[in-house]
């Protein structure tokens, strides 16, 4: 029976997935919101133990990006303390507006199941990879940032997350300007696999 999926195409999407940073996005080129929704639908198909579906997405588009720039610079200035870094602050201000859309990813803990936290983080990470691969398939690009406010407890409530939940990261996305620089390298899979026959 012929395989119903396009394996070559899929492999090429996976192998060409790459992090592209806001300074490499085409300026002022906006991704249609419907496309973002299609990508989020793919994220929503991630595997999830007991179907807890812990991933949460706060999407910042249009003027919402300015709100995010204000919000994350305020939070960072207030709570970075000894880690405060002017360059990081500048990026937190500039990156949202260099992007078409920004998605802050959260993990919402299940209250009805006794699922270990790590499983909910894994499920959310799977959703992020679905999102990342979908971006690549659509000819879009982006990167996941865990800098800035990600690990600041005080930031959570701004994204509808409670004390038991986690901020996982901020995904900046746009149209890639230039993908001519090489992909990052990986060491061979053979040194990461133990195969027992």
Ligand X SMILES: Cc1cc2nc3c(=O)[nH]c(=O)nc-3n(C[C@H](O)[C@H](O)[C@H](O)COP(=O)(O)O)c2cc1C
Contact residues for ligand X, defined by CB under 6 A: 18-19, 143-147, 169, 184
CB of 128 to ligand X, least distance (A): 8
CB of 108 to ligand X, least distance (A): 18
Burial 23-52 (b: 16+ CB within 10 A, else e): ebbeeeeebeeebbeebbebbeebebeeeb
CB of 175 to ligand X, least distance (A): 16
Strand partners for 103:
59, 171
CB of 132 to ligand X, least distance (A): 8
Minimum CB distance to ligand X smaller for 18 or for 156: 18
Taking only Cα atoms into account, the Rg of the chain, rounded to an integer number of angstroms, comes to 18
Minimum CB distance to ligand X smaller for 114 or for 118: 118
Nearest of 148, 180, 168 to residue 24 by alpha carbon:
180
Q: Which residue has the tokens 């204000």?
A: 70
Minimum CB distance to ligand X smaller for 30 or for 150: 150
Minimum CB distance to ligand X smaller for 20 or for 161: 20
């Amino acid at each position: 029976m012929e395989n119903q999926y396009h394996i070559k195409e899929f492999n090429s999407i996976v192998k060409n997935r790459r992090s592209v940073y806001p300074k490499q996005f085409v300026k002022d080129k906006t991704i249609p919101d419907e496309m973002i929704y299609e990508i989020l639908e793919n994220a929503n198909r991630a595997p999830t133990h007991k179907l807890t579906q812990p991933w949460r997405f706060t999407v910042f588009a249009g003027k919402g990006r300015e709100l995010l720039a204000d919000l994350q610079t305020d939070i960072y200035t207030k709570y970075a303390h000894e880690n405060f870094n002017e360059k990081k602050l500048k990026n937190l201000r500039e990156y949202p507006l260099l992007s078409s859309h920004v998605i802050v990813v959260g993990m919402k803990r299940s209250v009805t199941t006794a699922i270990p936290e790590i499983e909910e983080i894994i499920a959310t990470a799977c959703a992020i990879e679905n999102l990342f691969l979908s971006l690549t398939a659509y000819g879009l690009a982006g990167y996941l940032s865990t800098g800035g406010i990600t690990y600041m407890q005080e930031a959570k409530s701004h994204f509808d997350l409670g004390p038991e939940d986690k901020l996982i990261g901020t995904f900046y996305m746009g149209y890639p300007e230039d993908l001519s620089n090489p992909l990052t390298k990986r060491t061979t899979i053979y040194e990461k696999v133990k195969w027992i026959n």
